[in-house]
Amino acid sequence: MPAREIRIGPSSVHPRLAFACEMDTPELQALFANPEVTADLRRLGARVSLSLTDLSSGRAEVVRHLNAAGIAVTAWMSLPKEQGYYLNSGNASQALVRFGDFQRWTAAYGLHWSGVGLDIEPNLRDFGSVSEAGASILRRLFHPGLVGRARASYASLVSQIHGAGYTVETYQFPFLADQREAHSDLLERLFGIVDVRGDQEVLMLYSSFNHPADSAIVWQYGPSAQLIAVGSTAGDTTAGSKFVPLSFEELSRDLIVAGHFAPVVGIYNLEGCVSRGFLPRLAGFDWNQTVIISTEADSRVIRLRARVQSTLWALGQLPYFAAVMFAMDLWLSRWRRAGQPRLAR
């Protein structure tokens, strides 16, 4: 659709908030040692998606504290950093093992969960060096069967989670929606992400990575989302830093726009909201504000999506183009060989 100024009024239903939290256990315990944090979460009726960076007794105590306070907690499955931390095509087998460890840990401490979250992102080890990243990309590009095997492995994991009685959320990059529009699997082969389907998919629409695009990111990708996460509220707030976190005003705009598309809106992350004093302000949040998205911002995101989808489609056709060129070259070679004796005669 053509870019235009967008005026977004209040939605008829105010979404429920969910806060992502991925602090190490000592810092996590210190965060919830402040009773105001739990009180603010209760006032908001919010839930917490807690990254399981470890399966320690200290982390279990925080979960039990949230259980006792009546705050729903989603188990955000993550791996040890030496295994890549995020879930992707390269560590599906470790993810299956991790879920088994999670079940035993949950039973040992009597923990209660509202569901399980699968965060699908590239492997952290791929960013260790250029050579490692290049080798990983080439392996995935020239072994297209890896995509199908990864999807099957994660479908099996989802089935196991369902069998244990949990619902499944998947956390995905927004460009996955563009890949589907382009009928491609190129992003999966390039970055090792997996188009795995759970009960609900959360698109991570973080306008902090592209401040000039403003809430147009949420507006343009929102129709493709079941649930939405906005952010980030954490990071270096110094002007000129690479990824400046959202101000409260920017966060407010994203929340209001996201509320038009999703009944639950996630905020990445809880620790950023606490350190910057956002939680008490969210408790009294005015959902009846009007947001105006400029024509320039809307146009920026429309052009971005068009470029991404056309690039994915074009690159996805390269194997077919190469096959046609190979077939033509083979035919021409045979034609020349067949013609040479006649020319000689």
State the pTM of this model: 0.87
- What's the mean pLDDT in 32-52? 97
Strands 16-21 and 6-8 turn out to be: unpaired
Q: What is the mean pLDDT of residues 53-80?
A: 97
Start-end of H helices in the chain:
25-32, 35-44, 57-68, 92-109, 130-141, 145-163, 175-181, 186-191, 216-221, 248-258, 270-275, 278-283, 295-344
Phi and psi (nearest 5°) for 144?
-60, -20
| C-alpha 23, offset from chain centre | 18
pLDDT confidence of 190, banded at 50, 70, 90?
confident
Please name every residue paired with 49 in a beta bridge, in sequence order, or none if there are none.
20, 74
Residue-range domains of the chain with CATH: 9-344 (3.20.20)
Q: How confident is the model at residue 12 (pLDDT cuts 50, 70, 90)?
A: confident
Biggest distance spanned by C-alpha atoms of the chain: 98
pLDDT at 323 over 50: no
Chain centre distance of CA 80: 18
Strand 73-77 vs strand 115-119: parallel, antiparallel, or unpaired?
parallel
The pLDDT tens digits for 132-148 are 556 666 667 667 688 89
Confidence band of 319 (pLDDT split at 50, 70, 90): low
In angstroms, the CA 2 to CA 159 distance is 42
Give residue 327's pLDDT.
45
User: What is the tens place of the pLDDT at every residue in 277-316?
Assistant: 999 999 989 999 999 999 999 999 999 999 999 998 887 6
- pLDDT confidence tier of residue 320, bands split at 50, 70 and 90: very low
pLDDT at 131 over 70: no
Task: Assess whether pLDDT exceeds 50 at residue 48.
Answer: yes
Q: What's the whole-number mean pLDDT along residues 212-235?
A: 96
Average pLDDT of every residue of the chain? 88
Of 299, 222, 277, 275, the closest CA to residue 253 belongs to: 222
